[in-house]
Amino acid sequence: MSDISHAGLSRRQLLRGGLALAAWTLGPHWARAQELPDVAPPEMPPLTEAPPPSCDPEYTRWALLSDTHIATDPESRYHGFYPYRNLQEATAQIAHDLPDGLVITGDLARLRGETEAYENLKTLLNPIAEQRPIHLGLGNHDDREDFFQAFGAGYDDDGAVENKHVIATEMGPVRLIVLDSLLNVNWMTGKLGPEQRTWLETVLQTCDDKPTILFLHHTLNSELLDMRRLLEIIKPVPKIKAIVYGHSHKYGYSEVAGIHLINLPATGFPLTRRQPVGWVEARLMKDGGEFTLHAIGGDRENDGRTQTLSWRS
């Protein structure tokens, strides 16, 4: 990857929007990420109450994850990795130095989005959800009905797009929009659909020029069936600075028409030995962003390294 430095991130900041996740009830546990013996993980000390986030408008700091693939059985293993334990370690790291919020870009569940899988996900996210907003996108291995059954009907959105789960919020100097590319459960392809595209177009036409970052599950290739229509909407809109997604289980950066494309690593498991497992810490500013990889498994060569991006004008 180009333009990689070892710079760390600064202190946290937040202007919290009104779409914060309701707190849950179960506490955190911790274990190492991969190739673990079949034993119960040790418990962490109780999480102390986080100090209130600062309201510095210059930046906001977020934890970005994708493809957690939590199963109904916490001991489920795939490709030699334990997704439940991986997310345990990731959330322990995040809770240790709480960012201003967290986004997961879909494939929350292992294959078919069963309610029990989402209940397991809630358990793992609880320590962060009690103190910071969490926004969850849906991917091709998720199921909206089961998701809403576990998290509550209409969780985290206002029903702006029928049969889609969308989120729009402002945090510090940026606007975050989480889109829903789930088409059919356990199909590889995804689609935003005309209603969601119209909603996005309307939001972009009516909001101010604050730098805007889109989040969705599918990569911008043929597996997102209306990719070209999405690009037709956002290319002419300078306020769109970046798109963050997962799906491919690959970590990387590219761009199209000056819009940065940020492919998050999978948190659950990689598909090749050359990919990391983990999450990305993002420091988002009005003129750019710093994205630091936290690799908890797989290829850890770039663990702790920061990719610095400048927004298009």
Q: Tens-of-pLDDT digits for all 313 residues of the chain?
A: 333 332 333 323 322 333 333 333 223 222 223 333 343 443 444 444 555 554 568 999 999 999 999 999 999 999 999 999 999 999 999 999 999 999 999 999 999 999 999 999 999 999 999 999 999 999 999 999 999 999 987 788 878 999 999 999 999 999 999 999 999 999 999 999 999 999 999 999 999 999 999 999 999 999 999 999 999 999 999 999 999 999 999 999 999 999 999 999 999 999 999 999 999 999 999 999 999 999 999 999 999 999 999 999 9
CATH of domain 9-31+51-310: 3.60.21.10
Contact 142, 178 (CB under 8 A): no
Q: How far is CA 302 from the centre of its chain?
A: 19
**299 DSSP assignment:** -
The full set of domain ranges for the chain reads 9-31+51-310
SS3 call for 215: strand
What is the structure's pLDDT at 51?
55
SS3 call for 150: helix
Radius of gyration of the chain (CA): 18
Contact 82, 33 (CB under 8 A): yes
Give the CA distances from residue 62 to residues 79, 100, 180, 196, 239, in Å, rounded to whole numbers and listed in that order: 28, 6, 20, 25, 19
Contact 214, 179 (CB under 8 A): yes
